[in-house]
Amino acid sequence: MAGTSVSEIFEIPKFFYFESGNDYSGSKGDFSYKIVNGEKLHCMTWHGRLCSEKAAVEHEEDFEKTQEGFDSMIKWLEEKFAEG
């Protein structure tokens, strides 16, 4: 996926991937995240290697399933990572 990520920090595919109804999860170091596709894009973050069902989710937010909402979600996710 090198060169196709929408984030400078995370390996996240372009909005089309989510328009197609897919969920996505990943991590950077000890910081983990999951994007769940529904009426909106639901993004959650936590620290550790546990899956989202077993982890203590620290932050979660819903974003409109539009390019603008997607861009806001990426910015939010990068901010949560920067907060530590």
Whole-number Å distance between alpha carbons of 19 and 69: 12
Mean of per-residue pLDDT scores for the chain: 92
Instruction: Calculate mean pLDDT across residues 56-82.
Output: 97
Q: What is the pLDDT of residue 81?
A: 96
Q: Name the pTM for this structure.
A: 0.90
Task: Kindly report, residue by residue over 37-56, the tens digit of the pLDDT.
Answer: 999 999 999 999 888 889 99
Torsion of CA 50, 51, 56, 60, to 10 degrees: 140
What is the model's pLDDT at position 26?
Answer: 95
Task: Tell me the two tokens of residue 77.
Answer: 């996710």
Structure confidence at residue 1 (pLDDT): 44
Above 70 in pLDDT, residue 3?
no
pLDDT of residue 34: 97
